[in-house]
C-alpha cells in the first residue's frame, strides 16, 4: 500500500466514525450535562458542590441568549447560599484539555487534539466533555457553537453588522476560518460534514479556551461584570479551583468575568463590549464598557454604562472607569458624528434585521445597535452637563491596581478572544 492510499484509507475510517457518532449525538447537548458532572466527580480531586444547580429546562433560558456566553444555553445557579471563598467546583487536571506541553495555549494543536479525541468516540478519556462540545451538529446556525461568535454568523448577519459599524466603529473584522488559521489541521479533506466539524471545533477552541485551557463545566459559567460577578478561578498543579469571590445568595446565577477577572490584567479597558460581541457573539449585560474613540491607541477612551436603581426604576448611568479620562473636544466631535450616522441607519437596520433568518443574530445585532447609540448619547449628555462632575471620583483608581501590567499576555488570558485587541 502506498503512503497516499494508506492516508486516504485512514481518512475514510475516520469519517465513518465521525458520521456514526454524529447520529448518536444529534440531540440537545444539555442532555449530556449529567454525564459530564458524573465524570468530573469520578476523577481524583474532582468536585462539584451540591449547592449549585444546572437547570435542564433549556426552553426557559433561551430568551436570554442575547446576553449569554454559553451558546448551549446551559447556566449555573446557586441552589443554596454560598459563602465567600467557598469552592464551588474543582476540575482535576485529567479533565482539562490543553495542559500537555505540545498543546498548551496553542490553538491549532489544541484543535487537532480535540478532533482526535472526537474520533476516538467513547474510547476518548474526555468523552463526556467532547460529547457535550461537539454533540450537536445543527443546520440552521441558530444554536450551539455557531452562534457563539460572529465568525460563525450568516453572511447576511455579518454584512448587516458591517454596515452598522461602518469603517470607524468596532469591531473591525469578523471572519475567522479554521482553514486559514489552522491549515494543517483543517485543509486535509473534502467532506463537507468533516469540514463543518473542524470549523465548529475550531470555534469551540477559540471561544471557550481560558488561560490556554479548555475547562469543562467552568466554561458553562456565564459572563457578567460589576456586582453580578461572583466566581473566579485559580489554577493549581492538580486542577482548577472555581470559588466564590463574594457571598452568593440562593437563586443567584453564577457569573464569572471574561475581562475583569483576577488574571485578566489590563483586559478591563482593552477587551470591552465590542470585543465580546465580535469574539463571543453576544452583547454583554450591564455593566458594559465601550471604547468610544477610534480604538486605535493604547489608551483608548472607555465609557462604562451600568444600571442603577432609582425611585422610577432602572436608570442608565455613565462612568469613566479609566483614570476618569473623558473625551476631548475633538473626540466629542467624532462621537457626535458617529452617533448621527448610527441614527440615520435606523430604517436600514429595521429592514436588514427583518431579513435575517437567525433569531439570535437579529436580537444581538439590534441590541448592539441600540447599545452603541445609548452609550454615545450618554457621553454627549454628560459633556453637555459640562465638567461639573469632574470632581467625582472614578469608580476605579488605576493606581491601586498593581496587577495591571501594560504588557499582559493577550494570547493566553481570555476565553473569547483572538487578535482583536488593539
Residues that bind ligand NAG in the complex, under the rule CB under 6 A = 85, 87, 346, 349-350, 366, 369-370
Task: Give dist(CA 205, CA 220) in Å, integer.
Answer: 14
- The helix (run of H) or strand (run of E) holding residue 87 is strand 87-92
Closer CB to ligand NAG, 314 or 350, in the complex: 350
As to burial, measured by CB atoms within 10 angstroms (0-12 exposed, 13-18 middle, 19+ buried), residue 16 is exposed
Are the C-beta atoms of residues 343 and 373 closer than 8 Å to each other? yes
As to burial, measured by CB atoms within 10 angstroms (0-12 exposed, 13-18 middle, 19+ buried), residue 86 is middle
Task: Give dist(CA 320, CA 390) in Å, integer.
Answer: 10
Tell me which residue has cell 460563525.
152
Closer CB to ligand NAG, 33 or 88, in the complex: 88
Closer CB to ligand NAG, 373 or 398, in the complex: 373
Minimum CB separation from ligand NAG for residue 289, in Å?
22
Task: Give dist(CA 296, CA 337) in Å, integer.
Answer: 17
Closer CB to ligand NAG, 241 or 325, in the complex: 241
Minimum CB separation from ligand NAG for residue 45, in Å?
12
- Angle at CA 292, nearest 5°, toward 291 and 293? 100
Task: Give dist(CA 113, CA 106) in Å, integer.
Answer: 11
Checking 161-168 for CB contacts under 8 A at 24+ apart, the result is 161/365, 161/368, 163/345, 163/348, 163/352, 164/342, 164/345, 164/349, 164/365, 164/368, 164/369, 164/372, 166/341, 168/294, 168/334, 168/338
Minimum CB separation from ligand NAG for residue 349, in Å?
4
Closer CB to ligand NAG, 334 or 369, in the complex: 369
Minimum CB separation from ligand NAG for residue 83, in Å?
10
Minimum CB separation from ligand NAG for residue 224, in Å?
23
Closer CB to ligand NAG, 354 or 393, in the complex: 354
Minimum CB separation from ligand NAG for residue 352, in Å?
9
Are the C-beta atoms of residues 158 and 150 closer than 8 Å to each other? yes
Closer CB to ligand NAG, 111 or 164, in the complex: 164
Minimum CB separation from ligand NAG for residue 290, in Å?
17
Amino acid at each position: 500500500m502506498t503512503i497516499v492510499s494508506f492516508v486516504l484509507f485512514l481518512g475514510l475510517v475516520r469519517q465513518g466514525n465521525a458520521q456514526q457518532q454524529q447520529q448518536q449525538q444529534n440531540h440537545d447537548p444539555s442532555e449530556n450535562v449529567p454525564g459530564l458532572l458524573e465524570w468530573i466527580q469520578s476523577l481524583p480531586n474532582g468536585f462539584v458542590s451540591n449547592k449549585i444547580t444546572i437547570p435542564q429546562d433549556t426552553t426557559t433560558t433561551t430568551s436570554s441568549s442575547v446576553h449569554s456566553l454559553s451558546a448551549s444555553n446551559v447556566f449555573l445557579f446557586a441552589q443554596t447560599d454560598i459563602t465567600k471563598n467557598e469552592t464551588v467546583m474543582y476540575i482535576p487536571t485529567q479533565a482539562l484539555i490543553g495542559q500537555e506541553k505540545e498543546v498548551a495555549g496553542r490553538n491549532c494543536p489544541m484543535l487537532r487534539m480535540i478532533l482526535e479525541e472526537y474520533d476516538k468516540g467513547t474510547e476518548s478519556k474526555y468523552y463526556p466533555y467532547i460529547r457535550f462540545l461537539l454533540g450537536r451538529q445543527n443546520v440552521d446556525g441558530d444554536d450551539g457553537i455557531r452562534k457563539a461568535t460572529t465568525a460563525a454568523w450568516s453572511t447576511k448577519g455579518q454584512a448587516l453588522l458591517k454596515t452598522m459599524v461602518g469603517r470607524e466603529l468596532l469591531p473591525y473584522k469578523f471572519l475567522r476560518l479554521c482553514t486559514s488559521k489552522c491549515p494543517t489541521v483543517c485543509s486535509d479533506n473534502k467532506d463537507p460534514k468533516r469540514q463543518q466539524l473542524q470549523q465548529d471545533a475550531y470555534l469551540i477552541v477559540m471561544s471557550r479556551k481560558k488561560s490556554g485551557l479548555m475547562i469543562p463545566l467552568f466554561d458553562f459559567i456565564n459572563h457578567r461584570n460589576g456586582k453580578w460577578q461572583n466566581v473566579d478561578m485559580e489554577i493549581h498543579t492538580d486542577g482548577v479551583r472555581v470559588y466564590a469571590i463574594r457571598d452568593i445568595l440562593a437563586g443567584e446565577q453564577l457569573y464569572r468575568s471574561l475581562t475583569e477577572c483576577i488574571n485578566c490584567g489590563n483586559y478591563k479597558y482593552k477587551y470591552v463590549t465590542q470585543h465580546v460581541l465580535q469574539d463571543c457573539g453576544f452583547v454583554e449585560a450591564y455593566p458594559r464598557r465601550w471604547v468610544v474613540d477610534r480604538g486605535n491607541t493604547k489608551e483608548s477612551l472607555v465609557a462604562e454604562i451600568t444600571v442603577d436603581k432609582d425611585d422610577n426604576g432602572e436608570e442608565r448611568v455613565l462612568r469613566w472607569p479609566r483614570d476618569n479620562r473623558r473625551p476631548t473636544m475633538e473626540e466629542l466631535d467624532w462621537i457626535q458624528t458617529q452617533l448621527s450616522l448610527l441614527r440615520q441607519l435606523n430604517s436600514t437596520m429595521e429592514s436588514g434585521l427583518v431579513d435575517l433568518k437567525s433569531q439570535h443574530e437579529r436580537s444581538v445585532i439590534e441590541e448592539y445597535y441600540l447599545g452603541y447609540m445609548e452609550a454615545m448619547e450618554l457621553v454627549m449628555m454628560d459633556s453637555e452637563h459640562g465638567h461639573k462632575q469632574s470632581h467625582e471620583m472614578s469608580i476605579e483608581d488605576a493606581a491601586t491596581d498593581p496587577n495591571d501590567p501594560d504588557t499582559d499576555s493577550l494570547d493566553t488570558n481570555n476565553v473569547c478572544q483572538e487578535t482583536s485587541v488593539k
